Amino acid sequence: MERPVRAAQRPSRLAIIGQPVAHSLSPVFQRAALRAAGLSIAYDREDVAPDQLSDAFTRLAAEGAGGNITIPHKEAAAGLIARCTPVARRVGAVNTFWTEHGALVGHNTDVDGAAATIKALCSSDVVDPCDLPVVLIGAGGAAAATLVALHDLGYRHITIVARNTARAQALSARLSIPSQIASMDAVDVAVGAAALVINATPVGLRDDVFPVAVSALSARCAVFDLVYRPGLTPWIAECRRAGLRAEDGLRMLVEQGAAAFEAWFELPAPRVAMWHALNAVPPTYHAS
């Protein structure tokens, strides 16, 4: 087992960097985690425009800060931060950072968050993951982290469905993860035999559009939507009404935050406090 990635020194303060960032839930549950762990460290939101990102990183490094990075900066950060961990380099995106010896280190805990959700959804399956067909919708930065998580968990029959099939081919090649590629025109056919379907696009974030019709999904399919909204995304709500095991991105959000907390402080993340701060509990499933 690989040794967990840990910061060499504790951050002086924490911040989430993005634009927009006012809606971010990370300060809500990370502040709760800090209180539960007895750590007197601030966690703030910082709205940073793309053309201000490099200057913001210089300032944060000088402060000895750490934190998280959200849209639209995750991929740009990988090219601006002084050093990236192997997983951040592999994914090509940074969502967690800290300072070591006056320079920022970029890490990616989205892989941890995706893996935790996939394991929770599919834990009752007794079939080896290698034998389970998976459909991943999307070919951007979120899809990259999810594809790495799938591969590391042992899934080998993966189909990437994307509007831009060339981008999906490039993603598969860059990560050296063999995948079938399909266009969105063929999404209904692709998901029909899938044991797990994952939406890694922004579809449903601010509208009621479904990434794929629920009627096209297998009756024993598990569904994971990286998007999260108060009260579930409409797609996940409809999947649950159809009797499917289905989760939005809330567990991924908490678990990537927990992995970041453990990297910053080398302490167990107080997950109960984190979930409680969001007025939520992680869903559980039973073998069927």
Catalytic site positions: 74
| 102 contacts: CB under 8 Å, gap ≥ 6 | 61, 62
Query: Rounded to whole angstroms, how far apart are CA atoms 87 and 107?
Result: 7
Query: Rounded to whole angstroms, how far apart are CA atoms 279 and 207?
Result: 23
Query: Rounded to whole angstroms, how far apart are CA atoms 145 and 111?
Result: 5
Query: Rounded to whole angstroms, how far apart are CA atoms 257 and 31?
Result: 11
CB 19 within 8 A of CB 48: yes
What's the token pair of residue 113?
């968050």
**110-122 vs 250-265: helix crossing angle, rounded to 10:** 130
Alpha carbon dihedral 202, 110, 70, 272, in 10-degree steps, equals: 100
Structural element, H or E, at residue 34: helix 26-36
For residue 192, the tally of other CB atoms under 10 A from its CB is: 13
